[in-house]
Structure 1
Amino acid sequence: MKSTVENLDPARLKLTVEVPYEELKPSLDAAYTSIGSQIQVPGFRRGHVPQQVIDQRVGRASVIQEAVNNKLNDFYREALNESGRVPMAQPEVEVTELPNLTGAQGGQLVFTAEVVVRPEIELPELDGLEITVDPVAITDEDVETELENLRARFGSLKAVTRKAKTGDFVTIDLTAVIDGEEVDSASGVSYEIGKGNMLTGLDTALRGLKAEESATFTTTLAGGEHEGEEAEVTVTASAVKERELPEADDDFAQMASEFDTIDELRGDLRDQVAARKAGDQAIAARDGLLDVLREKVVFDVPEVLVDQEVSAHLKAEGKEDDDPHAAEIRDDITTGVRDQIILDVLAEQTEVNVSQDELIDFLIQTAQQYGMEPAQFMQGAQQANQIPAFVSEIARNKSLAMALRQVSVKDSDGKDVDLTEFIGSDELDAQQLVSEVERVASPTDADSAGSGSSASSASAASSASSASAASAASAE
């Protein structure tokens, strides 16, 4: 097989592939055998019809078509691999020459394939990069906030006759009117004044109301058929309640935790705040590294990839490709595709591998996010051929964790930040690998552990810390 490459632009190339008859012949023989087993010719047993008779009965063109269809993708992949480029979309293939359709067997197969490929980019040297993050500072106010949240979980609601204020819980009925016509309504809705997670202006309207009092305000509807339209909304507070919190004392500590005193509980809450802020610091370092890569790696994102992602997004929302929403999401999608390309290259350079355990953990977590049974979600993902995309996503997350091992991370005070807890380290990977090999090779396991399982177990161990680190660093 001979192939030539023509670069149409930085992200699109054209392959011209020439396959001599000798290379296509095994596929032609297989096609003759397949077709011969499907036809019945007097004087010949099924499956033993000579090729020349098949040519006469069904036509050599049919045989060549089946042979080419069965082998074309293999020839394309071989030519693409030789080019050294990574495809980003399905190719546009055109067959320009076929083996001899009549006369003596011979000739060649020639086809062209135009395909969008990943732009060739060069990442900066990681060991020369420095990322700055905020220092971890735990204040008494942070601890008291945690304590207040914990008290709120054990609080109770008590009806009041006074005017409602921020922090009160109200049961409300809502009616929305546009041009004198009621377009939406809801009743018995529980809402905490000050949350601001329903309608703009609702908090202001509720403050000062007593039970069974109403107020009307103008707002923009946030959902339903009239989403985005301005409406007159009447809200009635059918009940007003305040939250009573338990005293922050030793009795509360014993009720709400495993600790005997409130001081011990406060100490534990301080540790929780420290752990959370350390995790936030790791996330900030990850995001900071990605920002640096975005800044230093400049390239044009293939428009066809952005178009495909925009179309898929609109389709998921039940909208057509010409919907105005397409322009609103295009910039974000372009950034997402750019990040994907950068992180794919980073994953290759940091030699990231994704183990089966990591994939299963990812699928289980994703299924939980969608409220689905893991087995059902996995089956659907396999049927939709989404598993390779999930593997790539895991690899991208891991690549940032692996890359952070090589960069310098300091806080704004100039102190080095140790992220080993979140991203692991090469030393820990090596120790885990040695431990796993020794465990598998131990006499007690020798009878039950074959060499194949030893290799896979060792491979899993070498990626364990970076996998969990990537998961921790990517969780927000």
Structure 2
Amino acid sequence: MKSAVETLNPTRVRLTVEVPFEELKDSLDAAYKKINQQVTVKGFRKGKIPARVIDQRFGRGAVLEEAVNDALPKFYTAAVNEAEINPLGQPEVDITELKDGETLNFTAEVDIRPVIEIPDYSGIEVTVDAIEVSDEDVEKAVQELRERFATTTPVERAAEDADVVTIDLEAKVDGEVLEDGVAEGVSYTIGSGELLDGIDDAVKGLEAGGEATFTSQLKGGSAEGKDAEVTVKVTAVAKRELPELDDDFAQLASEFDTLEELKADSLKRLTNMKQYDQATQAQERVLEELLKITEVPIPEKLLEDEINTRTHNLEHHQLGQMGIDLAKYLEIQGKTEEEFKAETEEAAVKGIKTQFVLDELVNKEKLNVNQEELTEHLMRRAASSGMSPDQFAQAVVEGNQVPMLVGEVARGKALALVVESVKVVDTNGETVDLDDEDETETTEAAAETAEAVTGETEVEEKGEKSGA
């Protein structure tokens, strides 16, 4: 077999392949065997029909077509390996010449992973938010914990601010009760802002059995965004009581003996959260700067597929679960279709560039993923998916997605490596040292950052090992 490669552009090549006819022998034998099992000829046992009879009865062309279809992936893969290219997606194959007994010639055009030169990134400098936890932040955290331990006591009086009321709701649009506009026994804390605009004023002053009607714009459901006439009936009123902020509360709500110890722990937790947010912010901004200084050609077909995938997933998964279509979504977002397409393309380009650049860094720095890192990533992915680690691991194995997870961790390590090499300062002008962070935590955070950018992007290389 002879092959040659022609570069059409930085992301696409054409392979020209010439195959001597004798190299089709195995595929021809397989074609005759397959046809033998599918047809019957009077006077011959099934599977024992001579090749010359098959040629006479069904045509040599049918055999050749079957043989070529069987052989093409093998010859294409051999040409890819000989050319030492990294194909993306499926090739466009064109048989240019097929002479029975002489030769098979074909061309294959395919997108390839572009050659990327990673520039010197040591001069990158980014600014992140300073870590500042105020007394008010600590008080708010303790107050939120206190709210979780609130108790309610039924009262026979009109509802007031902070009371918990049990209500029935009925929403009408254009005089018609909505199918999903009726709810009974809803528990609502007055002033929480968790339901409809205007409901607080409607229920305040009502005792059990009282009802009121008000107009509000619906926040969800089949008539989302429309003004509805809402009737609310109060069926019960309860007074909400918060525990005293003292040592007894600390012992009730935590493992600490005193309120001061509880506050000190809240300060520590808030600081750790701010540190994590700061590290994530640094990773995001460093990645932005790295993409700016790195030239990355984008394969057209890959970009088209990525845009289609993102649009399909939005329409049929995210919006489908919300019960709205793309037109409604754009109306809610206040975007035109053109703006949506432009934003989707921009996100797709960024996702592809991120994967290409970080993958190149993985190769350049010879970064490997160990079992501990993969297990940690799997545990986090399982938690975010709502599945148990065992269930998630089984789904990953069954879906052949282990290489995808390995790639995510490796890209996280690549991004973490870049962040360690650049200058990060906070808004107070202080240098931020991210080396003190736990290495596994840093890698995992970087993997999440890269994953957030790449989204659904998972550039797939085909043909090199598994055939076309």
Q: Normalised by the size of structure 1, how large is the TM-score?
A: 0.74
Residues 303-322 of structure 1: CA deviation (Å, up to 9, x unaligned): 51313431343233459999
Assess, with a 3 A threshold, how the Cα gap between structure 1 residues 422 and 182 changes in structure 2: closer, same or farther. Answer: same
1:24-173 mapped onto 2 (5 Å cutoff)? 24-28=24-28, 31=31, 55=55, 59-80=59-80, 86-100=86-100, 105-113=101-109, 115-117=110-112, 123-160=118-155, 161-165=157-161, 167-173=162-168
CA contact (8 A) 2:354 2:450 kept: no
CA contact (8 A) 2:315 2:326 kept: no
Provide the C-alpha distance between the structure 1 equivalents of 2:203 and 2:290, rounded to a whole number of angstroms. Answer: 48
Q: Which moved more, 1:23-32 or 1:236-245?
A: 23-32
Residues 286-338 of structure 1: CA deviation (Å, up to 9, x unaligned): 22123324544576864513134313432334599995758364344324322
The match for 1:343 among 340, 354, 363 is 354
Pair 1:190-2:191 in alignment: no
Aligned residues: 430
Unaligned runs of 5+ in 1: 425-463
CA contact (8 A) 1:283 1:474 kept: no
Q: CA deviation at 1:348?
A: 2.1
1:51-450 mapped onto 2 (5 Å cutoff)? 55=55, 59-80=59-80, 86-100=86-100, 105-113=101-109, 115-117=110-112, 123-160=118-155, 161-165=157-161, 167-183=162-178, 184-207=181-204, 209-297=206-294, 302=300, 304-305=304-305, 306-316=307-317, 317=319, 327=337, 329-351=340-362, 352-355=367-370, 358-359=373-374, 361-381=376-396, 386-422=401-437, 424=439
Assess, with a 3 A threshold, how the Cα gap between structure 1 residues 152 and 325 changes in structure 2: closer, same or farther. Answer: closer
Q: Normalised by the size of structure 2, how large is the TM-score?
A: 0.75
Provide the C-alpha distance between the structure 1 equivalents of 2:218 and 2:137, rounded to a whole number of angstroms. Answer: 36
Percent pairwise identity: 41
CA-based RMSD of the aligned residues comes to 4.0
CA contact (8 A) 2:412 2:445 kept: no
Unaligned runs of 5+ in 2: 331-336, 453-468
Q: CA deviation at 1:285?
A: 0.9
Provide the C-alpha distance between the structure 2 equivalents of 1:404 and 1:179, rounded to a whole number of angstroms. Answer: 57
What is the DSSP-based 3-state SS (H/G/I as helix, E as strand, rest coil) of the residue aligned with 2:90? coil
- Residue of structure 2 equivalent to 1:440: none
Assess, with a 3 A threshold, how the Cα gap between structure 1 residues 26 and 220 changes in structure 2: closer, same or farther. Answer: same
Q: CA deviation at 1:143?
A: 1.6
What is the DSSP-based 3-state SS (H/G/I as helix, E as strand, rest coil) of the residue aligned with 2:274? helix
Provide the C-alpha distance between the structure 2 equivalents of 1:107 and 1:283, rounded to a whole number of angstroms. Answer: 58
Assess, with a 3 A threshold, how the Cα gap between structure 1 residues 81 and 201 changes in structure 2: closer, same or farther. Answer: farther
Provide the C-alpha distance between the structure 2 equivalents of 1:268 and 1:60, rounded to a whole number of angstroms. Answer: 82
Provide the C-alpha distance between the structure 2 equivalents of 1:44 and 1:394, rounded to a whole number of angstroms. Answer: 60
What is the DSSP-based 3-state SS (H/G/I as helix, E as strand, rest coil) of the residue aligned with 2:182? strand
What is the DSSP-based 3-state SS (H/G/I as helix, E as strand, rest coil) of the residue aligned with 2:244? coil
**Higher RCO structure, 1 or 2 (CA under 8 Å, sep 6+):** 2
What is the DSSP-based 3-state SS (H/G/I as helix, E as strand, rest coil) of the residue aligned with 1:340? helix
- Residue of structure 1 equivalent to 2:459: none
